[in-house]
Amino acid sequence: MKWLTVHLGEIAIDMQPGFAMQPDRGQAGIPHLRTNNVSEDGRLDLSLIKRVMPSKEQIEKYSLLPGDILFNNTNSKELVGKTAFFNENGQFLFSNHMTRIRVDEKIADHRFIARYLHWIWRTGGFRAMVTQWVNQAAINRSQLARIPLSLPPLSEQRRIVEILDQADALRRKRAEADAKAERILPALFIKMFGNPVTNPKGWDAFELGDLCTKITSGSRGWAKYTGRGDAFFVRTQDINDGEISGDLLAVDPPSGAEAERTRLCCGDVVVTITGMVGKAAVFRAQCQNMYVSQHVALLRPRPSLESEYLAAFANFLAGSVPVLARFQYGQTKPGLGFRELRAARIPLPPIELQRQFVSQAQNIRTLRRNRYCAGAKLEELWSTLLQRAFSGQVTARWREAHMQEILAGMKQQAKWLTGESTRGGRQTPRLQQSLFREEMPK
């Protein structure tokens, strides 16, 4: 059974872009949802909210209601199209980079449409549609109205949403468990060594320059050597969660002392010195040639300092930043120079205690790798489920058991879309008639 193909504008009764307003510095006023409030997972993220002091007219025009759909209309090309279902109580408004969508509930389920639009974004379906500027891309209302959708009967839409909600709840629980597991290593560090900032155990502290045989960073001007070769290039974006990414930029380094100076040896610690300063990881690959970029420092510890301990110390959060960031220079463009790194003082526990930590940290890393592999498999299954859901495969057997209900729903769909049904004695408004004419390219 083939689903009906419609344009979003044919089932929408409202597509309203928001308004721009500077946030209140005192964080007073009404929450004003922005691009960061729709996650790449298609969920509403209220962890960071800006508040504004709007006029009465703005409140009336731009308020969100439970059941609304939030579509990210302006962002980088990769992020335009993120979509979330809004189901919050209380007063919320939305910025001009978001579009509020309301669909006719007689023929479309808001949750189904929200998930469908976000699925289109996940699969890259919006990238060819966007209007690209220098630093931004956008989809306007007329483009949004012309997005084609395969629309099953309302009862089947609800069944699909039910299945996806159940699967997504399992993904959310897994993500919560992973977040808790990420706190194990810092907790172990605290238990064994105490807070490295306050050093409550009174370990003797030494400057890093005295605890390392080498502190250096990569060379400038290596861009011409990247994109080819059998070696790899470690950049700031390649160091996250205490690990070096497995997806590195290839590099064909020049021969000579300069390349040898920046080549990593097993046991070296890499530390980001620009951007997000202080992120660290241990280089453990003995059979791979890797080199650090100019934005990454290479630290080679002496025998009295275990690499795993040094990296865990560096990654320990002092407030919201890694502990080594306390030694950075500059405010608008912070960084860590060799002088700051060498002068940074680090508590030095007995080597036997450091080795005990290394042993337990290795077990934690093994568990983390297993979690990552399981998480990647789960995301593959989720992507497959979404594809099957929006192609009708997930509900194939359900349709067979509910054929009469489906046929009745399809008949009702057709009536509403052709304007035969009425609401309150008047024909259902067709938003697309105005939207398809709006902002059309000349």
- How large is the angle between the packed helices 154-181 and 110-122, nearest 10 degrees? 60
Is residue 296 included in any domain, yes or no? yes
Residues 342, 239 share a domain? yes
Residues 374, 317 share a domain? no
**136 three-state secondary structure:** coil
**327 three-state secondary structure:** helix
Question: Rounded to the nearest 10 degrees, how much is the dihedral formed by the CA atoms of 307, 313, 314, 319?
Answer: 170
The predicted model scores a pTM of 0.77
Is residue 405 included in any domain, yes or no? no
pLDDT at position 417: 66
Single residue among 292, 313, 348 that ends a domain in this structure = 348
Is residue 111 included in any domain, yes or no? yes
Residues 157, 147 share a domain? no
CA 7 to chain centre: 29
pLDDT at position 335: 82
Q: Which residues have a Cβ under 8 Å from the Cβ of 377 and sit 6 or more positions away?
A: none
pLDDT at position 299: 96
Residues 249, 318 share a domain? yes
pLDDT at position 404: 78
Residue-wise DSSP of 168-229 = HHHHHHHHHHHHHHTTHHHHHHHHHH--TTT-TT---EEEHHHHEEEEEEPPS--GGGEEEE
CA 95 to chain centre: 20
Residue-wise DSSP of 355-373 = HHHHHHHHHHHHHHHHHHH
What is the rounded distance in angstroms from the CA atom of residue 208 to the CA atom of residue 64?
53
User: Which tokens in the block code for residue 323?
Assistant: 């502990």
Contact status, residue 340 vs residue 327, Cβ threshold 8 Å: yes
Q: Which CATH number is 373's domain given?
A: 1.10.287
Contact status, residue 95 vs residue 58, Cβ threshold 8 Å: no
Residues 312, 213 share a domain? yes
pLDDT at position 420: 55
Residues 12, 140 share a domain? yes
Q: Which CATH number is 58's domain given?
A: 3.90.220.20
pLDDT at position 333: 67
Is residue 161 included in any domain, yes or no? yes
pLDDT at position 437: 44
What is the rounded distance in angstroms from the CA atom of residue 340 to the CA atom of residue 233?
24
Is residue 92 included in any domain, yes or no? yes
Residues 338, 325 share a domain? yes
Per-residue pLDDT tens listing for the chain (442 residues): 688 899 999 999 999 999 999 998 888 899 999 999 999 999 999 999 999 999 999 999 999 999 999 999 999 999 999 999 999 999 999 999 999 999 999 999 999 999 999 999 999 999 999 998 888 999 999 999 999 999 999 999 999 999 999 999 999 998 898 888 889 999 999 999 999 999 999 999 999 999 999 999 998 889 899 999 999 999 999 999 899 998 899 999 998 888 999 999 999 999 999 888 899 999 998 778 999 999 999 999 999 999 999 999 999 988 777 888 888 776 666 788 888 899 999 999 999 999 999 999 999 989 988 988 888 899 999 999 999 999 999 898 887 788 777 777 777 777 766 765 444 443 444 454 444 444 433 3
Is residue 238 included in any domain, yes or no? yes
**CA dihedral sign, ordered 395, 401, 405, 408:** positive
**49-84 residues labelled b (16+ CB within 10 A) or e (exposed):** bbbbebeeebeeebebeeebbbbbbbbeeebbbbbb
pLDDT at position 396: 86
Is residue 442 included in any domain, yes or no? no
Residues 136, 274 share a domain? no
Residue 159's domain comprises 153-202+351-394
Residues 169, 49 share a domain? no
Is residue 401 included in any domain, yes or no? no
Q: How many domains does the chain have?
A: 3
User: Which tokens in the block code for residue 318?
Assistant: 């002092």
Radius of gyration of the chain (CA): 27
Residues 236, 129 share a domain? no
Amino acid, res. 202: G
**392 three-state secondary structure:** coil
Residues 262, 358 share a domain? no
Residues 190, 125 share a domain? no
Single residue among 315, 330, 348 that ends a domain in this structure = 348
